[in-house]
Amino acid sequence: MHVTDTFGAIIRERRIALGMTQQELAQQIGCARVTIQKIEAHQRHPSPALAERLIDYLDLTSGEQINVFEEDDHHLQLGPLQTALSAKLPLLPTPLFGRLDEIEALRDQLTRPEVRLLTVMGPPGVEKTSLAIHVATLVQPYYHHNVVWLSLASVNHPNLVLYEIAQALKIQEVAYQSLFETIQCTINKRRVLVLLDNFEHLTAATPIITQLLACNPHLKLLVTSRTYLGIRGEHTFIIEPLPVPSHEYACTEDLLATITSRYAFYRACQVSLPVLYSN
């Protein structure tokens, strides 16, 4: 069976009648807010398992349930991982400066079989995200371009992390199967790298990360965080701020070129304000 196009309208009408936001409904049934948004906008059909949870929670009448499902002879199948997942990697607005050693070290670790979880740590403003995206782009061939980036900055509940990862991998729930099992069956023996950006406020989700790695021996996670996750087998890489020049020297362009932090700022200003920095 599959869900009809009227499903989204029914869900939206009942949710509004109950005075609930999309975020509140998503938290109650254990999915991401964007999932509810797409269902109501007819941009996505929920799996039968998710549809059943919505029906139970919203207490739909028998008449409404008849309109929700249509009988279908097709069997649910797990499709292969989408190709060109690396297209999800964002482009960096400015190039990285002064991080060649860090880039090579991270690149090396991400191609080692024993490294399953690599956490890039550091204070705010040291380019953890930019560095991780750059390195993830470089190792795409090693992972056969099965590389995805997921920003967790707007995810406000640990229980939503697994659903966000599944969506990033374009995996939907399957009836009578846990989401862990669905991800495991879909990834199978593929090399997959998932970049989880801004994890520091979701440390309560570490048991989910542990189980996800245990179920998928070919999956690797590259995490950016202000603190370590504390998971067994975690490898950490600390990013330090770039050095700055002494105030006793004149700040010339030649000096800027040798002091990477100032030169990076200088080049960024040239990009954003080309008229002021043109020769």
Q: Enumerate domains of the chain plus CATH numbers.
A: 2-70 (1.10.260.40), 85-238 (3.40.50.300)
For 56-88, the pLDDT digits (tens) are 788 776 444 444 444 333 333 333 444 445 446
Q: Which pLDDT belongs to residue 251?
A: 56
Using DSSP's 3-state secondary structure scheme, residue 117 falls into strand
Instruction: With H, G, I as helix, E, B as strand and everything else as coil, classify residue 135.
Output: helix
State residue 279's pLDDT score.
Answer: 37
pLDDT at position 252: 56
d(C-alpha 144, C-alpha 247), whole Å: 48
Distance of CA 21 to the CA centre of its chain: 23
Determine the average pLDDT of the residues in 209-232: 94
pTM above 0.85, yes or no: no
pLDDT computed for residue 215 by the predictor: 87
Least confident of 91-95, 116-120, 178-182, 254-258: 254-258
> Among candidates 68, 81, 88, which has minimal Cα distance to 195?
88
Q: How far apart are CA 1 and CA 72, in angstroms?
A: 5
Mean pLDDT confidence for 205-211? 95
**Minimal CA–CA distance to 102: which of 65, 130, 67?**
130
pLDDT at position 261 over 80:
no
Length of the chain: 279
Read off the pLDDT band of 259 (50, 70, 90).
Answer: low
For the segment 130-138, the average pLDDT, to the nearest whole number, is 93
Q: How confident is the model at residue 269 (pLDDT cuts 50, 70, 90)?
A: low
Rounded to whole angstroms, the Cα distance separating 64 from 79 reads 30
- pLDDT digits 0-9 by tens, 10-59: 888 888 888 899 988 888 887 788 888 888 887 777 766 677 778 878 87
Task: Give me the residue label for tokens 């309560």.
Answer: 204
pLDDT reading at 199 higher than 70: yes
Nearby residues of 206 by Cβ (< 8 Å), 6 or more positions away: 229, 230, 231
Cα–Cα distance between 59 and 52 in angstroms, integer?
10
259 residue type, one letter: I
